Chains A and B, each alone.
Chain A
Amino acid sequence: MQTPAKGRQTVTKSTEASSVKTYVRFDLIQRVQHIVFLISFTLLGFTGLPQKFPLSPISLAIFEAVGGVERIRAIHHASAIAMMIVSVFHVLEVTYRILVLRTPISMIPWIDDAKHVLHDIQYYLGFKKHKAYYGRYSYAEKMEYLALIWGTIVMGLTGFMMWNPITTLRFLPGEAVPAAKAAHGGEAVLAVLAIIIWHFYHVHIKHFNKSMFTGKLSREEMEHEHPAELAMIEAGKHQEPIPPAVLRKRQMIYAPIAVVILALFAFGFYYFVGYESTAVVDPDTGETVEVFVPVTPTPIPTEPAAGESSGASSGTLNWSAGIAPLLQSKCGMCHGADTSTGLAFDSYESIMKGGTNGPVVVPGDSVNSSLFKVQSAGGHFGQLTAEEIVRVQQWIDAGAPE
């Protein structure tokens, strides 16, 4: 966020108590931009990296602390909007400085910067007595600024593509979205680590440079960090103030340009934020089939078809051919030859003799035959079917022929 600000850099202040001179390095607008960018960058990092490495314990802890992936994304999107707004503001500011104030473009690396790098490497290796004499911005600051511009463009574009994939794919091939995801993640890791290594070392560890918050550098700091700039200031080489009439004229030209830039970004924001609120529409998950559809007829019938092979289904109505097989198969267990029930159906003689309670068959009179009476009452252990009882009845009524 460090921008050309030579126009106002020469303001000096001295206090009466001590003759400590301070030099304005960053004006309020620049400091505010830095703070907004710093906060949004941090939030984006803390909400973005867990999405890139979702199953690491740290990521899961962050998801849980914030209360869900959706909330993480909402914070990420909100921070992205803040970063985009501050970036647009920065574009307006830089164009104003260049077009209206005509400040020299001091952020572009130049031949001097290459010389400074070589000089510094020699110094670090012990071949030089001192560091290179930096101007307003050292090559380290320029590189970081340009990396930030590059990173913001990459992250903004790829972020937009991931946020609005459907819109994106109306204009680009499908592969663009996963490529954007890869670039967004790759750039994020690069940016965060570069900030931690490069930025933290140069402005926090090596020497805690507070100028981005106070706006000022002391003379000693200036001597140390920006000796060439200090020399220029002390030699009185600074920009002449612009006559008000000229300034006014330039501002009139700049205004429509600013409006166009703002309109372009506003249009972009409209798409960015409003076009695709979410890609997902309530999916109709699951099947729409009937779960309980029993096979009919059921393969496990509760009752088998009765009377199929009872041995009583056919033939003449006499003992040996019709009734004996029926009674012996269905009653023989209890009323067999070696019976303990006192009643046996093993032979014609036995059944006609009856049991201990008397005869069970009264030939010609089924109604008075206890065989028929017991069976018609139902519930007997060896219960005959209705059809079989009819056959027994017919047999008795026919005189119980042998």
Chain B
Amino acid sequence: MEFLTEGFAEAFRLVTSGDTRVLHAIWVTVLCTTTAVTLAALAAFPLGAWLGIHRRDGRGGWVFCMRVGMFTPTVVVGLLVFAVLSRRGPLGSLDLLYTQAAIVAGEFLLAFPLIVVLAHGATAALDRRVTETARTLGAGRFRTLLAVMNEARVGLVAAYLAGFARCLSELGVVMTVGGNLEMRTRTLASTISLEIRRGDFARGLACGLILLVLAVGTALLAHRLGKESRA
């Protein structure tokens, strides 16, 4: 028990005293996750909506692949990105391994299939009349896609959040391609894993609590967005 109270006290101390290493880890976590998931959503929303609109036109293969991708363990995604960015890999000359860009690339791959699957689900559940109406009003393919995405926005926000949740606390990518380098690529999740190995359980718990606060913030934001789009 003393562990939990110690953890709370330590979390408070770390944030208020401005521990630069922890603040940097918070920054890396938020920056990489937001960038990766936003990029993934920009690509995945239209693809998911397109698959949703054409759900009866034999695009099942796409959806199936994305569903499989959604289950890929984060360590495996980390290994794939590692193989590509490694000195001996095809993109080795870019020297991107162990940078924040590498983390973003890995998290993009984690979030993309998940968001496609959920966006597909949200748009496929829409009334077919949405597409038909848009077409009758003379909308081209692009405008139709936008109309469908607009109608499914509550589902798309949920899809974005799911992607965010998968990336915020993941370890497979940040350890393998980020390298957990202090003040460079160390995130909150990798700090927790390090503090546990170091035997400093209270500090690990403290970072876990900070991560939880980020999660609560994100959930609240989504809650507000959901309310507004229903109004």
A and B form one complex: no
Interface residues of A (CB under 8 A from B): none
